[in-house]
Amino acid sequence: MSYLIILIIVLVVSPLILSEVKGLSFASAGMVFLVLAGSVVGLAFINKDKNLLKRYSFSKGFSFIPVLIIIAAITLVVILDLQRENSIILNQLAEIGSTKISRGLAIENVKKLPEVQEYLKNVPNGKIEVDNESEGEYNVHVYEIKDRHTATFNWYTVSIKSGEAQKGL
């Protein structure tokens, strides 16, 4: 019976708390918890074997109450943090996204190199393109199309985090 009370509390309180998060409505939060609870209850009623969990060694002496308390505590901490003006989680996510430089900036950093500037001055059809992204670096190709083939001047690697351009692969 205590599991049923905990389930009801989680079903009623969690959507109310989650609905305070920006962009998440009460209806969608409630629906998620309703489907989750329905799945758990449905599985419990469908299974006719009352001793199913007792047959498995991992379930001996195991109670779901501490797990539910831990999940509720973590959920509450995350929700309260997301509601703050200076959210730690949102700041971390923004920092991760902002540390990556764009492909365009990688090309600009290669164009600033003295040997590339000299090459582009001497070769009017010279091109600079990001070929691929690999292992935290952009691989930038400096070349020209000459007589229907690619004449490579050089390859450069540009760090995605720092933007530093280095010669060669």
Tokens 């060669």 belong to residue? 168
Give pLDDT tens digits for 7-24: 666 666 665 555 555 555
Mean pLDDT of 125-140: 90
Higher pLDDT, 75 or 132: 132
> What residue ranges define each of the domains in the chain, with the CATH number in brackets?
2-97 (no CATH), 103-167 (3.10.450.170)
The helix/strand/coil state of 102 is coil
Give the model's pLDDT for residue 1: 47
Q: What is the pLDDT of residue 58?
A: 53
DSSP 126: -
Q: Which of the four pLDDT bands, split at 50, 70 and 90, describes residue 25?
A: low
89-129 pLDDT, tens per residue? 777 766 665 667 888 999 999 999 999 999 999 998 899 99
